[in-house]
Structure 1
Amino acid sequence: MTYTFKEDKQIDKEALKSLYEDVEWFAYTRDLDGLADALVQSLYVLSVWDNEELIGLVRVVGDGLTIIYIQDILVLNSRRNQGLASEMMHRVLEKYNDVRQKVLLTEEAADVRHFYEKNGFQSCDKGSLVAFAKLG
């Protein structure tokens, strides 16, 4: 299957709502205007499309020189385990290869831990959340 990757921060709010609600990130969809503004204000946004359907997205914040923070990475449930999240992560890490600190914060789950560790992140276990950082 061929997908289209886009580096565009302007994404239709209904497409965002569909994706974020599919992965049950309802806190974002309570304020679609705020979510759309957050994308525009982000350092980098990469989305994945199957024709006109938004099926994945990664959002990066930071200065892009010394630190990036991977804020969101999500893929429609029906499109998981097809390598899309890994491909988005690869493109982000390649784009910001020279940035020393690559950070994200996520909830603890075995599949989540496995995904980030296979993408080169190291766990910094503290409390009920897990922080991952890739230095170098």
Structure 2
Amino acid sequence: MPAFTLSTDGTVSETELLSLYASVGWSAYTNDPLLLDQAIRSSSFVVVARDEEGALLGLARAISDDATIAYVQDILVNPSFQGAGVGRALFGQIQERYRHVRQTVLITDDEPRQRAFYESLGLTEGSDFQPGPVRVFAQFRRPL
């Protein structure tokens, strides 16, 4: 397992961000670097993982009212370091920061590996809640 450190100081260069988001194929972010920069700066909480040489390995960010809800917007880890505990550690920092809020919400793609990862973190898909499923409504649109 590679050694890494976590930081919440928000210091990430545009080049690092674009490289990380490109490594996981998130072109909706890399196609508009200014929008990505604004999204990171406007997030309520950002945590990054770096290797021993300071290279960016992963990032997670949340948007929250800091009272009732924390929405996990992104958890991404460079594919070369996936499976090494980086994503789990990033999410752990979000959980710790927002341990006092009632709801933690995350919307993601419908891929089996992602479902397994998020369930391993203790998250439950809305259709699986008991005594009955919860409904999630979302609207996605292209930026103006």
Q: Which runs of 5+ in 2 are unaligned?
A: 128-135, 137-144
Partner of 1:128: none
Query: How many residues align structurally?
Result: 127
- Alpha-carbon offset, residue 2 of structure 1: 2.4
Partner of 1:31: 32
Poorly superposed stretches of 4+, deviation over 4 Å? none
Secondary structure of 1:46 counterpart: strand
| Partners of 2:11 and 2:34 in 1: CA distance | 12
> What is the root-mean-square deviation in Å for CA atoms of aligned residues?
1.5
Q: Give the TM-score of the pair, scaled to structure 1.
A: 0.87
Is 1:60 equivalent to 2:65 in the alignment?
A: no
Partner of 1:89: 91
Report the AA paired with residue 100 of structure 1: R
Report the AA paired with residue 63 of structure 1: D
Q: Give the TM-score of the pair, scaled to structure 2.
A: 0.83
Q: Which runs of 5+ in 1 are unaligned?
A: 126-130, 132-136
Larger radius of gyration: 2
Secondary structure of 1:116 counterpart: helix
Report the AA paired with residue 23 of structure 1: V
Partner of 1:76: 78
Report the AA paired with residue 20 of structure 1: Y
| Partners of 1:90 and 1:54 in 2: CA distance | 18
- Alpha-carbon offset, residue 11 of structure 1: 1.4
What is the aligned counterpart of 1:120 among 113, 119, 122? 122
Report the AA paired with residue 61 of structure 1: I
| Partners of 1:118 and 1:38 in 2: CA distance | 27
Give the structure with the larger strand fraction. 1
